[in-house]
């Protein structure tokens, strides 16, 4: 899994405006729709929300990784968003989130999905890296930080 091939400037939003979990998910889906990565927003949305109902994807340290498996994509797709304000995402540590990475993958392909989630969760163990991402002003810089 190469994050550089999945995360490009067109799927990064440095100023998410949503104030609820659902608004953030909708905003993130819009990024993927605009980039031509998802064919059916409602089906993709339902798959993400269904996953959230099973267990929140709000992790620790202000990061959430909403994800799901759906036939609305032909390969693993992802986007990254940073919220201007902290958003309650039912996180494991009960802290609000500001960094969001959404990924969707085809129902019949498990490997890339698990590899992506593992790679992304490793990236955010560094407090310095998280802070650097929150301070970023340029979409390409976010990708550079995540892939270095």
What domains, with CATH codes, occur in the chain? 3-147 (3.40.930.10)
| 35 or 143, greater pLDDT | 35
Assess contact for 45 and 25: CB atoms under 8 A. yes
Question: How long, in residues, is the chain?
Answer: 148
Closest CA to 78 of 11, 23, 141, 129: 11
Element holding 118 (H helix, E strand): helix 111-123
What's the confidence (pLDDT) of residue 46?
Answer: 96
In the numeric block, the tokens 């959230």 are attached to: 52
pLDDT at 40 (0 to 100)? 93
Phi, psi of 132 (to 5 degrees): -60, -45
Q: Does the model's pTM come out above 0.75?
A: yes
């Amino acid at each position: 899994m190469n994050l550089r091939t999945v995360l490009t400037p067109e799927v990064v939003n440095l100023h998410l405006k949503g104030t609820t979990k659902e608004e953030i998910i909708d905003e993130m889906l819009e990024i993927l729709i605009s980039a031509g990565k998802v064919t059916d927003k409602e089906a993709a949305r339902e798959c993400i929300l269904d996953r959230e109902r099973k267990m929140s994807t709000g992790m620790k340290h202000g990061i959430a990784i909403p994800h799901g498996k759906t036939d609305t994509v032909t390969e693993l797709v992802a986007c990254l968003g940073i919220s201007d304000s902290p958003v309650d995402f039912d996180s494991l540590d009960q802290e609000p989130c500001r960094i969001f990475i959404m990924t969707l993958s085809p129902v019949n392909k498990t490997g890339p999905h698990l590899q992506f989630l593992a790679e992304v969760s490793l990236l955010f163990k560094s407090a310095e890296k998280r802070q650097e991402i929150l301070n970023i002003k340029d979409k390409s810089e976010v990708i550079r930080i995540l892939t270095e």
